[in-house]
């Protein structure tokens, strides 16, 4: 792409000014429509060092109400960010519905540096490209407008700019080592950039190469592309996209109706086992902390199935500095305004830590599906999106454990009644629980589909038979221990 | 994709039958909605030899009204087809709006055979992949539903089937040499198929791998995928897609207002030149026929600019067995029901022949744009679609010449009046011509944009100054001769 790219003819000054005025005006009007139609707009500005990424963003935002945009500038990952998956620091910066995010370079820049530094071998590079494509596709599939700009300057022009900036005391700091390196290895960089642009050109999120010869000309091109892209996004509403076939290795799961629920454990055996297993888990927690293995434990299950008690028996064994429990309720407005996985990306553990989710991202294919909080296309697409999400975590090195806490309908009724009739437990039961109970059959169907479609070998579901809660707790502990032992 | 793919669990007989009944019923209902929403549906069935592509199609169409579908079976290209561009025989088979086309293998099969036979080197293979991706993207961008199925059987299963079919007198003919070859080189084929599926997986036209172990199970999977894809297509209406940036090398074109129209040629010089040039063109026509070079000459221009007379001076020199003139009027219903380039694909010349188009595919960005016959997104996308189309023709080896026949507004008025006042010329002038004339400025703007955006180095525009028609005719002849000499 970049290699075939030809410099464009910049219009004469008066025409340039005239066209700039027009397109700035257009963006000013569009920002209100973007707001009204709740379109999240992500503008990624990549390009050569000294091409003027920052000042382009500075120009673009002048036309947008400050309440409607955020600017993020990519620097080397912090120590904290290094302990998260590659996509983490990019995913957390996606805009809210109706708002703009301008990124002063991002995942392209990061991958290119890693590649040119020789940190990424071919296989790792392929993996990164795959991650990026999935990430951007998930965004556009979920209604994001993703505009990707690459600012192009020639070797000579870059050299001139470096010399000019480096020559003045006030601007010297703006020339980085990397800028010098790029200029000295221009052809090598060009080769790498060209391949990246080609590899990540999605029809729904194409690349645009911008001739960055002069500031105003750069701005004109960028605003023309942006406003045109907004026009296209405004013309679409509630896009449905093809549901992709699963490409991940799956584990066979039973139907819920096939799960025998008569398993029990007597109190003495339970006590003994609990003590022994918690001790063992404590040891393992220490080791995974030292080996920096991140662990993600996800709990889903029927109301009153015993998730809370089960989680308590796990955490009882853990050092509080090394884990966190995330109770997941319905999303806050700022969460609802983003990709549904955003609030889980932001809650990921650091390497060496355990994150336990009491309810999870699987809400998308259960409550959101059944209550109509998302479209049919949304939840049907979500199985793959979730498998991709968990694959990302797995490739990062995470151990992923997913528990479905299973009881039968009668057991639930008995527990609901007990809660209702026990004053200190009444807070645990709500009208909504009773309403959900009425939809048991529909939920069961959804859960079965979820178990079939998201039990990958790298993140399989485990069913905890929880009519006897003691049995379920011991089983959970055993599974966690077994899986951790595999990697430690 | 294929290599990671795992065999799926076929449901038990009664469940299979039940689910088949449901999904067949669903397709029966959907076909009417497909008709009503005018969605063209292309179902491409690829896969291993003996996997049952033909019988799957046979089963699927039982649920569709025969008026609503066509089946096309791919065999080796005919001599006629070999003299057309690679995509030709595939493009001509795309369905009409509201109808289904089922293809019993297609471009994948063709490319795989060429590749496995060693006919395609890496560069050629890359080119094919690029063509396929552009082709499929153009279809989905233009509202086509493209469903791509790959029927998978294991090496052992294929071997068994070959033996069974070959063992019976009645079915022996169904086993091809290629089936045997595939089975003997199963791993090599697998490798090639896997790469192809990966290379051509578009989010808007993904691949689905079907476990083709048994007939009914194959049908169930295929119908589930098809009906689901139709649901998605029905949920979308009037999709707008991002406008891609140009990736082709361009020639700089003047604005129409910058074209000097005072060029003339006196009658004697004209006569002499005409004779000489026509003679030369006649010779070249012979040579290009022998060298099998296809030539495409496209005429666009203002009403009464002199296109007809200009074309006549070209054809006057040509052997009638080696050229065809295609006058392009507004599309017939069966043409309007397909991708707008379809009626030009079907009119392509054979190698060694000349096709002259009196008005062309550029109608999309002129009359269709200005009269609102297509959406804004449609015509804005068309510049790239047309550049891609012409690139395909160029890569095939065609010489592409595009003429814009230019006059000024006063000259047009004079010629209109002359036509109006000359009884034998009155048929040449209509109310519509007068109406179009009123929109001169809007047309001029559209023409300028067209010239800027579609004058590629491999298919540049040439402006014929035609206030003096003699000058324009001689200029056209000279350009044609010069371009043909380059390749002969």
B386-401 residue pLDDT tens: 999 999 999 999 999 9
Contacts of B251 (CB under 8 A, 6+ apart): B455, B456, B457, B460, B461
Q: Look at residue B156 in the predicted model and tell me its pLDDT.
A: 96
Which of A242, A244, A246 would best serve as a mutation to test chain B binding (most B beta carbons within 10 A)? A242
Partner-chain contact A252 B9, CB within 8 Å: yes
Partner-chain contact B203 A206, CB within 8 Å: no
What confidence tens digit (pLDDT) does each residue in B92-113 have?
999 999 999 999 999 999 999 9
User: Looking at CA atoms only, how far is residue A217 from chain B in angstroms?
Assistant: 17
| CB-CB contact of B470 with B265 (8 Å) | yes
Q: Residue B352: pLDDT above 90?
A: yes
What confidence tens digit (pLDDT) does each residue in A386-405 have?
999 999 999 999 999 999 99
Q: Which positions in chain A touch B204 (Cβ < 8 Å)?
A: 203-204, 241-242
Partner-chain contact B206 A242, CB within 8 Å: yes
Of A4, A204, A209, the CB nearest to B242: A204
User: Band of the pLDDT at A111, cuts 50, 70, 90?
Assistant: very high
By the 10 Å C-beta count (0-12 exposed, 13-18 middle, 19+ buried), B34 is classed as: buried
By the 10 Å C-beta count (0-12 exposed, 13-18 middle, 19+ buried), B253 is classed as: buried
Question: Residue B65's closest CA among B41, B94, B99, B42?
Answer: B99
Q: Return the percent helix, strand and coil in chain A, to nearest 5.
A: 55, 15, 30
Query: Helices (DSSP H) in B174-266: which residue ranges?
Result: 177-184, 186-199, 215-235
Q: Which positions in chain B touch A204 (Cβ < 8 Å)?
A: 203-204, 241-242
B324 SS3 class: strand
Q: What average pLDDT does the segment B356-360 reach? A: 97
Q: Look at residue A2 in the predicted model and tell me its pLDDT.
A: 85
Q: Residue A21: pLDDT above 90?
A: yes
Q: Look at residue B170 in the predicted model and tell me its pLDDT.
A: 86
Averaged pLDDT of chain A: 95
What confidence tens digit (pLDDT) does each residue in B160-212 have?
999 999 999 888 888 999 999 999 999 999 999 999 999 999 999 999 999 99
Q: Which positions in chain B touch A376 (Cβ < 8 Å)?
A: 231, 235
Q: How far is CA B484 from the centre of its chain?
A: 24
Q: Look at residue B195 in the predicted model and tell me its pLDDT.
A: 96
Instruction: Please name the residue of chain B whose CA is at the shortest distance from the CA of residue A3.
Output: B247
What confidence tens digit (pLDDT) does each residue in A94-108 have?
999 999 999 999 999
Q: Please give the Cα distance from A49 to A196 (Å, whole number).
A: 16
Partner-chain contact A203 B137, CB within 8 Å: yes
Q: Which positions in chain B touch A231 (Cβ < 8 Å)?
A: 240, 376
Q: Residue A4: pLDDT above 80?
A: no
Q: Look at residue B282 in the predicted model and tell me its pLDDT.
A: 96
Averaged pLDDT of chain B: 95
What confidence tens digit (pLDDT) does each residue in B312-329 have?
999 999 999 999 999 999
Q: Residue B235: pLDDT above 80?
A: yes
Cβ neighbours of A335 (radius 10 Å): 15
What confidence tens digit (pLDDT) does each residue in A174-196 have?
899 999 999 999 999 999 999 99
User: Band of the pLDDT at A128, cuts 50, 70, 90?
Assistant: very high
What confidence tens digit (pLDDT) does each residue in A29-82 have?
999 999 999 999 999 999 999 999 999 999 999 999 999 999 999 888 888 899
Instruction: Count Cα neighbours of A25 within 13 Å in the Cβ-side half-sphere.
Output: 6
Q: Look at residue B35 in the predicted model and tell me its pLDDT.
A: 96
Q: Look at residue A6 in the predicted model and tell me its pLDDT.
A: 75
Q: Please give the Cα distance from A243 to A238 (Å, whole number).
A: 15
What confidence tens digit (pLDDT) does each residue in B405-453 have?
999 999 999 999 999 999 888 888 989 999 999 999 999 999 999 999 9
Q: Which positions in chain A touch B244 (Cβ < 8 Å)?
A: 203, 206
Instruction: Please name the residue of chain A whose CA is at the shortest distance from the CA of residue B198.
Output: A247
What confidence tens digit (pLDDT) does each residue in A213-222 have?
999 999 999 9
Instruction: Please name the residue of chain B whose CA is at the shortest distance from the CA of residue A134.
Output: B203
Q: Look at residue A174 in the predicted model and tell me its pLDDT.
A: 86
State which H helix or E strand residue A207 sits in. Answer: strand A207-211
Q: What is residue A256's DSSP assignment?
A: G
Which domains, and CATH codes, for chain B? 13-235 (3.40.50.300), 256-487 (3.40.50.300)
Instruction: Please name the residue of chain B whose CA is at the shortest distance from the CA of residue A233.
Output: B240
Q: What average pLDDT does the segment A317-335 reach? A: 93
By the 10 Å C-beta count (0-12 exposed, 13-18 middle, 19+ buried), B451 is classed as: buried
User: Looking at CA atoms only, how far is residue B418 from chain A in angstroms?
Assistant: 40
Of A206, A238, A376, the CB nearest to B242: A206
Q: Please give the Cα distance from B376 to A452 (Å, whole number).
A: 43
Q: Which positions in chain A touch B233 (Cβ < 8 Å)?
A: 240
Q: Please give the Cα distance from B320 to B314 (Å, whole number).
A: 11
Global confidence as pTM:
0.90
Q: Residue B2: pLDDT above 90?
A: no
User: Band of the pLDDT at B236, cuts 50, 70, 90?
Assistant: confident
User: Looking at CA atoms only, how far is residue A208 from chain B in angstroms?
Assistant: 6
Partner-chain contact B232 A245, CB within 8 Å: no
Partner-chain contact A204 B247, CB within 8 Å: no
Partner-chain contact A204 B203, CB within 8 Å: yes
Written in H, E and C, the secondary structure of A351-373 is: CCCEEEEECCHHHHHCHHHHCCC
Query: Helices (DSSP H) in A292-424: which residue ranges?
Result: 307-315, 333-336, 342-345, 367-370, 376-396, 409-421
Of B6, B205, B231, the CB nearest to A250: B6
Q: Please give the Cα distance from B227 to B230 (Å, whole number).
A: 5
Q: Look at residue A24 in the predicted model and tell me its pLDDT.
A: 97
Which of B232, B249, B254 would best serve as a mutation to test chain A binding (most A beta carbons within 10 A)? B232
User: Looking at CA atoms only, how far is residue A158 from chain B in angstroms?
Assistant: 23
Structure tokens at A344: 């889980």
Q: Residue B238: pLDDT above 80?
A: no
Partner-chain contact B202 A204, CB within 8 Å: no
């Amino acid at each position: 792409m970049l290699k075939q790219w030809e410099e464009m003819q910049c219009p004469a000054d008066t025409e340039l000014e005239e066209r700039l005025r027009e397109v700035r005006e257009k963006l000013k009007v569009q920002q209100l429509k973007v707001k009204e139609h709740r379109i999240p707009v992500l503008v990624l500005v990549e390009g050569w060092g000294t091409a003027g990424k920052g000042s382009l963003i500075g120009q673009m935002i002048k036309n947008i109400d400050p309440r409607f945009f955020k600017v993020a500038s990519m620097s080397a990952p912090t120590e904290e960010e290094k302990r998260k998956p590659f996509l983490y620091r990019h995913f957390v910066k996606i805009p809210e519905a109706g708002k703009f995010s301008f990124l002063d370079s991002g995942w392209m820049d990061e991958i290119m540096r890693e590649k040119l530094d020789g940190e990424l071998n071919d296989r790792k590079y392929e993996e990164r490209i795959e991650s990026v494509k999935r990430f951007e596709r998930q965004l556009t599939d979920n209604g994001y407008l993703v505009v990707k700009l690459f600012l192009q300057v020639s070797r000579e022009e870059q050299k001139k700019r470096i010399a000019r900036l480096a020559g003045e005391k006030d601007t010297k700091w703006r020339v980085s080592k990397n800028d010098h390196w790029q200029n000295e290895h221009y052809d090598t960089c060009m080769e790498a950039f060209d391949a990246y642009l080609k590899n990540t050109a999605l029809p729904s999120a194409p690349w645009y190469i911008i001739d960055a010869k002069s500031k105003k000309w750069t701005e004109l091109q960028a605003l023309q592309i942006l406003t045109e892209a907004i026009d296209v996004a405004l013309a679409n509403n509630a896009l449905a996209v093809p549901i992709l076939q699963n490409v991940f290795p799956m584990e066979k799961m039973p139907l819920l109706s096939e799960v025998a629920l008569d398993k029990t454990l007597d109190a003495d055996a339970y006590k003994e086992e609990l003590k022994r297993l918690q001790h063992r888990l404590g040891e393992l927690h220490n080791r995974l902390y030292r080996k920096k293995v991140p662990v993600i434990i996800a709990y889903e299950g029927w109301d009153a199935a015993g998730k809370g008690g089960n989680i308590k028996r796990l955490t009882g064994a853990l050092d509080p500095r090394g884990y966190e429990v995330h109770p997941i309720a319905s999303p806050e407005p700022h969460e609802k305004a983003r990709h549904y996985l955003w609030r889980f990306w932001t809650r990921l553990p650091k390497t060496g830590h355990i994150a336990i989710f009491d309810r999870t991202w699987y809400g998308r294919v259960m409550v959101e599906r059944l209550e109509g909080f998302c479209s049919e296309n949304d939840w049907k697409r979500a199985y793959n999106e979730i498998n991709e999400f968990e694959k990302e975590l797995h490739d990062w090195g995470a151990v992923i454990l997913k528990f479905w806490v299973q009881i039968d309908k009668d057991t639930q009724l008995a527990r609901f009644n007990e809660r209702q009739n026990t004053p200190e437990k009444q807070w645990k039961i709500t009208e909504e629980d009773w309403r959900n109970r009425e939809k048991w059959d529909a939920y069961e169907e959804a859960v079965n589909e979820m178990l079939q479609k998201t039990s990958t070998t790298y993140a399989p579901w485990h069913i905890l038979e929880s009519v006897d809660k003691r049995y379920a707790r011991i089983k959970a502990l055993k599974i966690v221990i077994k899986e951790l032992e595999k990697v430690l």
